Amino acid sequence: MYRVIAGQNGAEKEVVVAAVRAGDSSAFTELVQRHRRELQMHCYRMLGSFEESEDLVQEAFLRAWRKRGSFQGRATFRVWLYKIATNACLDHIARHPRRPMTPQAGGMGTSLLSGEIQWLQPYPDRLLDTAAPFEENPDAVIASKELVFIVAIQHLPPRQRVVLILRDVLGWSASEAGELLEMSVAAVKSSLQRARGTLRQQLPAPRLEWGPVSHPTEVEQETLQRYMEATERGDVAALANLLNEDAVLAMPAWSEHFVGRDAIVAALVEGGFGSESFGELRCRATWANRQPAVANYRRPPGKSDYEAFALDVLRIENGQIKEITAFFSSELFIASDLPLTL
């Protein structure tokens, strides 16, 4: 058994190289597990899907095990894994080509979070907190703190997406990104310039600059609590008062969105919210992509249990809700360490 040391130089690097190339499965597993969460976050940024990111990081580790004999130690073990994970994502995208769809609007207007990324899923904060690499500042994840960023980069061609993530999110140099992608420094700089131009078109102006990760504000917590209380009461009027006039309700799985307070309220009423036939709702607070979120549990008429129904990710500004992105997936409840029934 090799003693696993994730060092960068000299004798320590030799230990890592020997452990990887010798086929010591225990040592190899210990090495890769150090990087699992940050690599899953990398795959998530590439794909926009939490569930697919889990599959792809596992695929990357399988590829790394099969290719372990090729690891020479010229780059760090972490960079080697990033290259394998990136190529696994690019291969997946090539096998499953998909582009953002034109949304089916349920109200007037357009929005970035308008259901056009049908495969979009949030990333639970309980896992996001552990996604920063050991060697880097934890604020390396700040550019993924909102779903709007994940949506925006899905509009980029895959290799431009990689360049943007490596350079602007992870802070790699142009030469490091070029080595991983087998591109010249000039090509990396050109690709990054094009990616930034597309991002400027996709991101709302206030979100072009990303501040450091911060704890939820009192206003956010208060608004979240009021949202949950109104939901549990089935109080349409109270919910309407919490919504910004141009708020957006998006449901990516159905490529559907509703723009404006009136359109959202009409959609909720049409869907049965607040009616006896719909049943009762219970809520639990959580966080995803550094945004407040609500886990909704529904008890249909005649049933005894509240079952996982929807996960609403909110964007709150000045005490009002600007965006609600609703996800209907029990897997997201599990990933957020939430029960499936209450």
Confidence of residue 309 (pLDDT cuts 50, 70, 90): very high
Mapped onto helix, strand or coil, the DSSP state of residue 317 is strand
Instruction: State the pTM of this model.
Output: 0.84
Helix (H) or strand (E) holding 11: helix 10-21
What is the C-alpha to C-alpha distance for residues 308 and 333, in angstroms, rounded to an integer? 7
- Smallest CA-to-CA distance from 250 within 260, 242, 261, 258 is with 258
Name the E strands within the chain.
Answer: 104-105, 243-251, 256-259, 280-288, 291-299, 307-317, 320-327
Look at residue 133 in the predicted model and tell me its pLDDT: 45
Domain definitions of the chain by residue range: 1-97, 218-335
Number of neighbouring beta carbons within 10 Å of residue 271: 10
Are 56 and 89 in contact, with CB atoms under 8 Å apart?
A: yes
Residue that is written with structure tokens 């957006």 in the block: 248
Type of residue numbered 274: G
- Report residue 44 as tokens: 């998530």
Cα torsion through 80, 85, 90, 91, rounded to 10: 100
What single-letter DSSP state applies at residue 3? Answer: P
**Helices 10-21 & 25-33, crossing angle to 10 degrees?**
120
**Of 5-19, 91-105, 178-192, which one has max mean pLDDT?**
178-192
Type of residue numbered 2: Y
What is the C-alpha to C-alpha distance for residues 217 and 116, in angstroms, rounded to an integer? 30
Residue-wise pLDDT for 77-100, tens only, equals 889 999 999 999 999 999 988 776
Average pLDDT score, the chain: 84
The reply to whether CATH 3.10.180.10 applies to domain 1-97 is no
- Report residue 5 as tokens: 């040391």
Residue-wise pLDDT for 122-175, tens only, equals 999 888 766 554 444 444 444 455 788 888 899 899 999 999 999 988 889 999
Looking at CATH, the fold of the domain delimited by 218-335 is given as: Nuclear Transport Factor 2; Chain: A, (3.10.450)
What is the C-alpha to C-alpha distance for residues 140 and 204, in angstroms, rounded to an integer? 21
Are 311 and 288 in contact, with CB atoms under 8 Å apart?
A: yes
Is the dihedral angle over the CA atoms 304, 308, 310, 316 positive or is it negative? positive
Beta-carbon contacts of residue 255 (< 8 Å; ≥ 6 apart): 101, 103, 104, 115, 116, 118
